[in-house]
Amino acid sequence: MIARLIDSLATTDTMAQIFSDESVLRAMLDFEVALANAEAHLEIIPQWAAEVISGAAQAEGFDTAALAQATFRAGTPGIPLAKALTDRVRAIDPRAAVYVHWGATSQDAADTALILLLKQAQPVLQSDLATLERALVRLSQQHAETVMLGRTLMQAAPPVTFGLKAAGWLAMIRRGRAHLESNFAEALVLQFGGAVGTLAALGDKGLETSRILADKLGITCPDAPWHTQRDRLALLVCSLGVLTGTLGKMARDVSLLMQNEVGEVAEAGGEGRGGSSTMPHKRNPIGCTLTLAAANRLPGLVASFLSGMIQENERGVGGWQAEWSTVSAVVQAAGLAASSMAEVAEGLTVDTERMQENIAATRGTVFAERAMMLLGGALGRDAAHRILEEASHRSTQQKRHLAVVLSEMPEVTAHLDAATIRDLEDPKRYLGVAESFRQRLLAKDQQSTPRTERK
């Protein structure tokens, strides 16, 4: 079973598969096979031995439960994996067993396996983010002129457009994706240093072995091993945390707009999606819920990784051992958020009539700022503010439109004509440069070319 019930709200099927026991095992075995073949190519070990190792390094037949138990005792998965692989090789050809894991250390196998898992996760994240971005572009274009209430401190404020709101979400996600791609490019590097990061066991062939090994695994060969230098992974973890927070901001907005009292947008429904066990009428924001749950978990996970960066000398104790579960949880949470919000955006319905109704329900008080600015030139800002504060209070108390109240105030009519007051509550007349901002956000190319180290 890929995902247990306890993890079902913390990952997706695809991400759970990537970080499953079987996938982790295959990644470590891929390292061992590539290592043997790289060393055979350089005649460090015999070619026939590499062939035996490659044949034995098939995930089928390995007891992952036993490996997990042995890992608990060894403090690293690399040691029991190398032992189990050696036993399998020995059963085929005892002469080849001595060449298993030649010149490597257990952390090399574990760290490189983690990098290979991250390499698998990257296109999944990119695909979901691309889907989300396309949906947001469509929503922004469709609703470029859809006027809705702006809201500050959870209160009604002057109008914005839904197109601008969607473009704002898009811009944040584009920036997050650009940082993520750059940090993936930096992080997807081979770990191969042997006991203390010098590859002394391979003599003068260590660097060339590293280059061939990285090439076989399809990752970058760094300038040197990085056993206790966790900055690349830290930047990736942080960017995943920031991206998930960004997705959480969008989820918060959508879930608030879905409240019955607001009712301006709605997630797509469907069989088993968004219902209630006791209230059949409900249409819950499930995609937003999952995203917000992920965004709530991420800060603590990111902090956990950062606190573990302070590792001792050439090989650390405790910090490195804490990373596997942390990185796995971070990537899966980010993947869940990206997948959920892509689904939300693709299926989002926008109730433009309700948006108009909600503006009208304020009886024009959200246009008090506009009236104040119109009066400010003649009366000064402070005086205009006092007048509009009083007018807004009357409008609320008497449940009358602000424009009507203003039309009865001599200190207002002395400076604003009837047509100006009448048009005061037209939301499209008080959007400023919202459309210019929207277009700039959609046109802005937030992508950057990732810098990578040469292999």
Q: Is residue 256 part of a domain?
A: yes
Q: Is residue 427 part of a domain?
A: no
Q: What share of the chain is helix, strand, coil (3-state, %, to 5)?
A: 65, 5, 30
Domain co-membership, 135 together with 272: yes
Assess contact for 236 and 187: CB atoms under 8 A.
yes
Q: Is residue 150 part of a domain?
A: yes
Q: Is residue 453 part of a domain?
A: no
Assess contact for 2 and 16: CB atoms under 8 A.
yes
Pick from 381, 382, 372: nearest CA to 412: 372
Domain co-membership, 255 together with 314: yes
Q: Which residue among 138, 211, 283, 315 is the active-site one? A: 315
Domain co-membership, 317 together with 301: yes
pTM of the model: 0.91
| pLDDT digit string (tens) for the chain, length 455 residues | 444 678 888 999 999 999 999 999 999 999 999 999 999 999 999 999 999 999 999 999 899 999 999 999 988 899 999 999 999 999 999 999 999 999 999 999 999 999 999 999 999 999 999 999 999 999 999 999 999 999 999 999 999 999 999 999 999 999 999 999 999 999 999 999 999 999 999 999 999 999 999 999 999 999 999 999 999 999 999 999 999 999 999 999 999 999 999 999 999 976 655 554 444 455 789 999 999 999 999 999 999 999 999 999 998 998 888 899 999 999 999 999 999 999 999 999 999 999 999 999 999 999 999 999 999 988 999 999 999 999 999 999 999 999 999 999 999 999 999 999 999 999 999 999 999 999 999 997 544 333 333 33
Domain co-membership, 70 together with 133: yes
Q: Is residue 432 part of a domain?
A: no
Q: Which residue among 276, 307, 325, 448 is the active-site one? A: 276
Burial class (CB in 10 A: 0-12, 13-18, 19+), 59: middle
Domain co-membership, 185 together with 162: yes
Domain co-membership, 27 together with 165: yes
Name, in order, each residue with C-beta under 8 angstroms of 60's C-beta and a sequence gap of 6 or more. none
Last residue of a domain, one of 304, 337, 356: 356
CATH code, domain carrying 409: 1.10.40.30
Whether residue 276 lies in the annotated active site: yes
Domain co-membership, 56 together with 153: yes
Q: CA–CA separation, 426 vs 63, rounded Å?
A: 70
In which domain, by residue range, is 377 found? Answer: 362-416
- Per the structure, the count of domains in the chain is 2
Domain co-membership, 184 together with 277: yes
Domain co-membership, 271 together with 387: no
Q: Is residue 440 part of a domain?
A: no
Provide the token pair at 307: 């606190």
CATH code, domain carrying 250: 1.20.200.10
Domain co-membership, 57 together with 74: yes
Domain co-membership, 149 together with 180: yes
In this prediction, residue 432 carries a pLDDT of 96
Q: Is residue 423 part of a domain?
A: no
Q: Is residue 117 part of a domain?
A: yes
